[in-house]
Structure 1
Amino acid sequence: VWDGVKVYMYGEFNTPASAEKNGSRLQLTFNDKAVKTVEFKYALSFVSPEQAKKNFLNEVKNTTFQQQTKVGEAAWAKVINQIQTTGGTEAQKRSFYSALYRTYERMVDITEDGQYYSGYDKKIHKTNRPFYVDDWVWDSYLAHHPLRTILNPGQEGDMLNSYVLMYQQSGWVPTFPLLYGDNPCMNGFHSTITFLDGYRKGIRNYDVNAAYEGMYKNATQATMLPWKNGPKTDLEDFYYEKGYFPALKPGEEETNKTVHGFEKRQAVAITLGHSYDDWALAQFAGELKKDGDYTKFMARSNNYKNLWHNETQMFLPKDKAGNWIQIDPKFDGGMGGRDYYDENNGWTYLWKVQHDVKGLIGLFGGVNSFESKLDQLYRESLGRSKYELWAKFPDFTGITGQFSMGNEPSFHIPYLYNFSSSPWKTQKRIRFLLDTWFKDNVFGIPGDEDGGGMTAFVVFSSLGFYPVTPGTPVYTIGSPLFEKASIDLPNGKQFQVIANKCSVVNKYIQSAKFDGKVLDTPWFTHDQLVAGGKLELEMGPLPNKTWGVK
């Protein structure tokens, strides 16, 4: 039994054994000295012991280890070879294909013989579709799910359908759906963004109305507290009315008993994250012609502005009376900054407005101030020793100034220069970050890889583009590592990125074309990609500071 889920196993050895029980253990002795290698074939089931034996007979009994090895190699070759690359160094290729491999860790299909056990209602269900579990949405909504919409949209549809089934079986859309049920982990209802992203890319092979019903329920009835499941509390009612999540002053005693003792309120992170979630729900409502919901949630998507402190140009916490809580956004907030932020500090959360970058630029007072603050991010000092910093912020890793490559909230930040007057700085930063933090050795991942969440960033960035705002079917251009990369699309077409003269030195875009037409902005759409488009870049050793500015 694992977290309330019964796991059944049936197996056979290739030689007889005598068994002796030793407490809770079973000791096996193999007496045939002629057998040099003991082989154990087995199969698992979450349904029943009888199903475990049936799985064994159907899948394992009449095959050898060598045959299974070849089957596995063929399966991996199919997905890895979906993306072909030419050029780049051997180290870059090793890092890229290792990253691509890791993106297939999650989600996991647990159907067996046309049925599955659900940890969401503790029942066995018949099905003719895969049922997927094990998704860490706080990590995977950024790049992992968007990557799958390109490589395997059919599988992404099955995963979204699984989310709908989980909602129907449990009453809530899960946040971190695992085998045994939802794991209340991190914060936000970011599956809403994943649903919108898939919907706008044509992935709609699930009960769309049920999905919207579940997302709406989460946004209006569920607690927003980190690492908690269940109905809303007085803190959510405050958020709905005032437009921000209230924080406590340093040392102030917690008044809400539902708040997690270690994870705290994360008041700024909650406000920013749910602003994006509400934007996605508003956009989904617009797609379904639910005008009242669209208006309601678009208004809530601007809540991030309520925590903008213009004097410091940071997102800072407020108490329930609406007063600013003066903190050092670099270091205050307890372990991992969790009183106000989450695992990262205020410099990271300064940029967590992917759904409204233009609005963020407006808060800065214009593009020039926005770009200047981005520049400062990469050179701002820690203000203390790394020993002191990491004792309090152990997840703040892969550091360049105050930028942390080792945690998901930072992934989109280097691409924000494409919203400024200096897209060439995105090209510079992406190449530096890939080369510094994703090498082909034991130091090749700068933080928690999160089951494909981080390496999906590597796959996108190595190919030369990235989805800054999942939910908007648009990609922004960085700096590809390879002279040529081609993606075999499930619709039979092929998307290509050609980077002429690309090298370790030639990392800057001089000019660009898409399908033979001049491209003078650093953007292209998902529709252009899946139509089998070709992005062609001319690369050079020095930046063309005028390209992409229009």
Structure 2
Amino acid sequence: MFRNFLTLVVFCCLGWTSSLKAEGQKDSPLKHVDPMIGTGGIVHTFPGATVPNGMIQLSPDGDTNGWNWCSGYHYSNTSLKGFSHTHLSGTGWSDLGDILLMPVVGEIQTQPGTLENPEQGWRSVFSHDREKATPGYYQVMLDDYEVNVELTTGRRVGFHKYTFPKTQEARVIIDPSNKIFGQTYRTQVKMEDEHTVSGYCYSNGWGGKRYVFFVAEFSSPIQDFQVATGDQLTTESWLTAEDAKGFATFNTEDGKAVEVRLAISAVSLENARENLASEKMNFDQALAKAEQHWEEKISKFEVKGGTEEQKRIFYTGIYHNYIAPNLNSDVNGEYVAVGKTLKAEGFENYSSFSFWDTFRATQPLMHMMEPELSTDIMQSLIARHRDADDHLPLWELCGFDNTCMIGYPAVPVLYDAIMKGVPGIDKEEAFAAMKDIANTNKDSSSDGEGGLEEYKELGYVPADIPKNVAKTLEYAYADWCIAQLAKQLGKEEDYKTFSKRAQNYKNVFNAEREMFWPRNADGSWFGDINMSDWHELQPHWVSGNLWAYEYFVPHDVNGLMALKGGVKSFQKHLDKLFTEELNMEGEEHVDISGFIGGYAHGDEPGHANAYLYNYAGQPYKTQAMVRRIMEEMYTDKVDGMPNNEDCGQMSAWYIFSAMGFYPSCPGDEQFVLGSPLFEEVSMQLGNGKTFTMKAHNQGASHVYVQSVKLNGKPLNRSYITAAEIQAGGLLEFEMSAKPNKKFGKAEGNRPVAPEAR
């Protein structure tokens, strides 16, 4: 009876608080954001609290091993082991889960237990019915202890609020040994005084060998403190061990909350202390500030029309695009990168760069929406070369390049920022960093030897090097970006060198087969491949996704069309891509998913493919296909995307597509038109201008564009430019259930890839 009464009291309070929040947000786009979208399936997002691009991602951990738990949480969870302060959003591999706290009641248990047997440790079962997630806020009731957990964050501080029942055995477990996939070497916990616990963890993982120092401040005095390693529990006030854990005990009255503020630093304990001091707030104040931050970001977009499901997908996609990259520097400017302690002068340092995914749409979106943030991110990249005397990263986490994926994807991110006028970028420094990485071979942790030296010597990556076709194509595109900056800077020799390298994609095009094909180092073509066997494709194409890379020449689509026999032949190739079903043997790579014919939306290299019909004078086919992808590949359910969300990219594709245009070649000025999903979308750009899209006669079956106007004047071409977007104004579509096959058909009205202009 007492348990039922306590539950009623807590949830009446929660309901009152939520109703106040809902009342205040009745006109806010935050009501359309659902952080639970993506926490199921293999999307790998987390539901916990964070602020835009903050250092802290305070979220529940259900498990720390297994494909489903790349973010520490999966919607299939029935128990939780605690709440840690760092998480990756939507990635296909993971690390982090730093500094876990867990509120419990009763006898101390020194181990968390397992998903299969939670009763063997301190874990608690929970119900999704008593769980809530909104931007900047997470709440769950731990059923085993009747403890209500509420979480929010600042930029460098996590805020916990634990409402315990009346007991003298209210405890908070501090576990710095918790890691998602990582390996812990050494940890420490120390009770400094009756309100403060500090410590660190030294570990190794996807983010490299690194320290995380922490300082935690409790609102209530600690009545008792014990430490443990393994199952050995002692009454010492501190402990250093491979798996040191602390157990703080409190006396609580019915309904009284224990609040915790916890700050971290990769540099030092003193920096963690300074970070904590920089955000002196209680939980409610921190929550109000977090919600204000999210309100400022999400409300930059205003949507009219569409279904409630479509709005939830769209606004939650915006939310996902503001989670990473993450703040990496302490309040005093110090940070760790490539194993060195450095100091950011005049900028804030960021990390968590999933650029192989996000250069395609997330970063182009952020360059326009958040130029000040982009400036800091670009400065962070340049600093890797300038200050750390190192190279641009492939996939950077916590300042460490884990070299996941291929190419040099930081290059198009830098060049696209320069092209879009992001301020504060020294072009000479940017070029030096770009040229350096284009001459520095990096073997991939996920895809083997880099093959860059062979690429430079032969003009392609040879067939005996893993993922050779995909690597050749990625290198060639990034080389085009470098060539364009060299041209801007008047570096004629560099321009010639990288322009030539940008054409290397042609060296792996097999004219007889009419497709890209592996080529041996002696110049001969690789032999036959069983095109229906995933195992035979994977040595040459990333994830085996031949069908994505077959069209990945973003800087020279027109050159690709010529290789494939001209415009009409290219149209037929695209038709085949989207209509011919694959009948494959063997186990496909986990990233290959979301099929329409041979097109797999779950793998990023093909994200521009549906837009390529515009280059061939058939934009009506693009219009139908992008609407189909939006309809079939996205929902507002927990498994609402076909694969890893990948730090915003999967969502960014939807955001651009729903607005009716897409950056098919980041670094180029042209955005290719598609089929807008809503009646109206306005976005407040970072330069103070507002760009609005309106779609007249919009409807579920009205997927085809009849005509377009830009600022009231007819627009016959099937693209707009970055300058036109950034100038602000109005883009109007007239929609219909029937295609207008004349729109965008004439050669002069088609987008033209930059190498052909």
TM-score w.r.t. length of structure 2: 0.67
The change in CA–CA distance for 1:278 and 1:332 in structure 2 (over 3 A counts) is: farther
Contact 1:5 1:180 (8 Å CA) reproduced: no
The change in CA–CA distance for 1:33 and 1:533 in structure 2 (over 3 A counts) is: closer
- State which drifts further: 115-124 or 430-439: 115-124
Output the CA distance in 2 between the equivalents of 1:45 and 1:165: 19
Residue 481 of structure 2 corresponds to which residue in structure 1? Answer: 280
Residue 395 of structure 2 corresponds to which residue in structure 1? Answer: 176
The change in CA–CA distance for 1:330 and 1:402 in structure 2 (over 3 A counts) is: farther
610, 618, 626: which one aligns with 1:430: 626
520, 530, 539: which one aligns with 2:726: 530
Residue 608 of structure 2 corresponds to which residue in structure 1? Answer: 412
Residue 369 of structure 1, CA deviation? 0.5
Contact 1:225 1:265 (8 Å CA) reproduced: no
Deviations 1:263-319 (A, max 9, x none): x62110111111101111111111111111111111111111111112222111011
Contact 2:661 2:671 (8 Å CA) reproduced: yes
Q: Does 1:25 align with 2:245?
A: yes
Output the CA distance in 2 between the equivalents of 1:360 and 1:124: 44
Contact 1:226 1:266 (8 Å CA) reproduced: no
Query: What residue ranges of structure 1 are gaps of 5+ in the alignment?
Result: 249-263
Contact 1:172 1:214 (8 Å CA) reproduced: yes
The change in CA–CA distance for 1:180 and 1:294 in structure 2 (over 3 A counts) is: closer
The change in CA–CA distance for 1:319 and 1:532 in structure 2 (over 3 A counts) is: same
Which residue identity lines up with residue 379 of structure 1 in the other structure? T
Q: Does 1:191 align with 2:396?
A: no
The change in CA–CA distance for 1:34 and 1:427 in structure 2 (over 3 A counts) is: closer
Output the CA distance in 2 between the equivalents of 1:99 and 1:247: 38
The change in CA–CA distance for 1:479 and 1:22 in structure 2 (over 3 A counts) is: same
SS at match of 2:733: strand
The change in CA–CA distance for 1:485 and 1:285 in structure 2 (over 3 A counts) is: same
Which residue identity lines up with residue 566 of structure 2 in the other structure? G
Output the CA distance in 2 between the equivalents of 1:87 and 1:328: 49
Aligned residues: 525
Residue 216 of structure 1, CA deviation? 1.0
Residue 468 of structure 2 corresponds to which residue in structure 1? Answer: 267
Deviations 1:19-39 (A, max 9, x none): 122222222222455674332
Q: Does 1:351 align with 2:555?
A: no
Residue 473 of structure 1 corresponds to which residue in structure 2? Answer: 669
Output the CA distance in 2 between the equivalents of 1:2 and 1:116: 20
Deviations 1:384-407 (A, max 9, x none): 3xxx45x23221100111100111
Residue 254 of structure 1 corresponds to which residue in structure 2? Answer: none
Residue 428 of structure 1, CA deviation? 0.1
Residue 341 of structure 1 corresponds to which residue in structure 2? Answer: 541
SS at match of 1:186: coil
Q: Which has the higher helix share?
A: 1
Residue 16 of structure 1 corresponds to which residue in structure 2? Answer: 221
SS at match of 1:30: strand
SS at match of 1:39: strand
Deviations 1:412-443 (A, max 9, x none): 00000001121100000000000000111133
Q: Does 1:300 align with 2:505?
A: no
SS at match of 2:378: helix
Contact 1:510 1:538 (8 Å CA) reproduced: yes
Deviations 1:120-165 (A, max 9, x none): 2511415331111111111011001100111111211211111000
Residue 382 of structure 1 corresponds to which residue in structure 2? Answer: 582
Residue 115 of structure 1, CA deviation? 1.2
Residue 228 of structure 1, CA deviation? 8.3
The change in CA–CA distance for 1:358 and 1:224 in structure 2 (over 3 A counts) is: farther
Contact 2:213 2:265 (8 Å CA) reproduced: yes
Output the CA distance in 2 between the equivalents of 1:441 and 1:194: 31
Which residue identity lines up with residue 275 of structure 1 in the other structure? A
Residue 381 of structure 1, CA deviation? 2.3
Which residue identity lines up with residue 142 of structure 1 in the other structure? R
Output the CA distance in 2 between the equivalents of 1:204 and 1:313: 43
211, 214, 238: which one aligns with 1:6: 211
The change in CA–CA distance for 1:298 and 1:22 in structure 2 (over 3 A counts) is: same
Q: Does 1:312 align with 2:543?
A: no
Q: Does 1:120 align with 2:321?
A: no
SS at match of 2:364: helix
Deviations 1:80-131 (A, max 9, x none): 1101011111111111111111011211122222312222251141533111
SS at match of 1:199: helix
Residue 55 of structure 1, CA deviation? 2.3
Which residue identity lines up with residue 120 of structure 1 in the other structure? V
Output the CA distance in 2 between the equivalents of 1:419 and 1:380: 21
Query: What residue ranges of structure 2 are gaps of 5+ in the alignment?
Result: 1-201, 230-243, 747-757
Output the CA distance in 2 between the equivalents of 1:229 and 1:430: 30
The change in CA–CA distance for 1:341 and 1:545 in structure 2 (over 3 A counts) is: same
Residue 246 of structure 1 corresponds to which residue in structure 2? Answer: 462
Deviations 1:147-195 (A, max 9, x none): 0111111211211111000112042111112214212110001211112
Output the CA distance in 2 between the equivalents of 1:382 and 1:37: 57
Contact 2:532 2:582 (8 Å CA) reproduced: no
- State which drifts further: 236-245 or 31-40: 31-40
Q: Does 1:49 align with 2:269?
A: yes
SS at match of 1:38: strand
Residue 255 of structure 1 corresponds to which residue in structure 2? Answer: none
Deviations 1:353-393 (A, max 9, x none): 11100000000111000010100011222123xxx45x232
SS at match of 1:536: strand
The change in CA–CA distance for 1:195 and 1:329 in structure 2 (over 3 A counts) is: farther
TM-score w.r.t. length of structure 1: 0.91
Output the CA distance in 2 between the equivalents of 1:305 and 1:229: 22
Contact 2:375 2:422 (8 Å CA) reproduced: yes
- State which drifts further: 160-169 or 191-200: 191-200
SS at match of 1:334: helix
Contact 1:330 1:347 (8 Å CA) reproduced: no
Give the fraction of aligned pairs with identical amino acids, expressed as a percent. Answer: 34
712, 717, 721: which one aligns with 1:516: 712
Which residue identity lines up with residue 474 of structure 1 in the other structure? Q
Output the CA distance in 2 between the equivalents of 1:90 and 1:128: 42
Residue 229 of structure 1, CA deviation? 12
Contact 1:184 1:229 (8 Å CA) reproduced: no
Q: Which has the larger radius of gyration?
A: 2
- Give RMSD over aligned pairs: 2.0
Output the CA distance in 2 between the equivalents of 1:307 and 1:58: 55
Deviations 1:46-90 (A, max 9, x none): 232222222222303xx2212211111111111111010111111
RCO (CA 8 Å, sep 6+): is it higher in 1 or 2?
1
Output the CA distance in 1 between the equivalents of 2:455 and 2:328: 38
Aligned residue runs from structure 1 range 359-378, under 5 A: 359-378=559-578
- State which drifts further: 350-359 or 64-73: 64-73
Contact 1:86 1:485 (8 Å CA) reproduced: yes
Contact 1:223 1:229 (8 Å CA) reproduced: no
478, 490, 497: which one aligns with 1:289: 490
Output the CA distance in 1 between the equivalents of 2:304 and 2:447: 47
Residue 253 of structure 1 corresponds to which residue in structure 2? Answer: none
Output the CA distance in 2 between the equivalents of 1:506 and 1:81: 27
Contact 2:486 2:494 (8 Å CA) reproduced: yes
Residue 323 of structure 1, CA deviation? 1.6
Contact 1:197 1:473 (8 Å CA) reproduced: no
Residue 156 of structure 1 corresponds to which residue in structure 2? Answer: 374
Contact 2:418 2:425 (8 Å CA) reproduced: no
Residue 44 of structure 2 corresponds to which residue in structure 1? Answer: none
